[in-house]
Amino acid sequence: MSAFVTPTEPTAALAIEAIGEELAVFDDWMDRYQYIIELGRTLPPFPADWQTEANLVPGCQSKVWLQPSPNPTTLSFAGASDAAIVHGLVAMLLRVYSGRPKSEILATSPQFLKDLGLIGALSSNRGNGVAAMAERIQTLAK
């Protein structure tokens, strides 16, 4: 099994829409946090030998690793974190961005994180970390 995340929705926009609908099912943020943690459990295993300094995302309070695929036409990612909620946030970001053409990644603003209320609902350190992950993905797509 590949460590890289394969998209379940055909476009990043549809992935964002699906995540928004899934989060809207829950009335409070404690239930949403539990859902996000469950999302993290769906990530493929991240190889231990990829947990390197080069793959660490700077700006995250928790340790977060992102490994891009070497595919020239689409950019897929493998990711992991040492914190359960952050691992779920990695899964959410990779659901949107992994397996997409670089042009689609660059055209998909991480603004959706604010629009879905995620940035405001997280601690400032976690919010900054999610923004750092999205920025790293955008940088790798350039």
- Cα–Cα distance, 87 to 94 (Å, whole number): 11
From 60, 83, 85, 91, the catalytic residue:
60
Tokens of 85: 């909620």
Residue 47 φ/ψ, nearest 5 degrees: -60, 135
Known catalytic membership, residue 82: no
Instruction: Please tell me whether residue 18 adopts helix, strand or coil conformation.
Output: helix
Half-sphere exposure for 8 (CA within 13 Å, toward CB): 13
Enumerate the active-site residues.
60
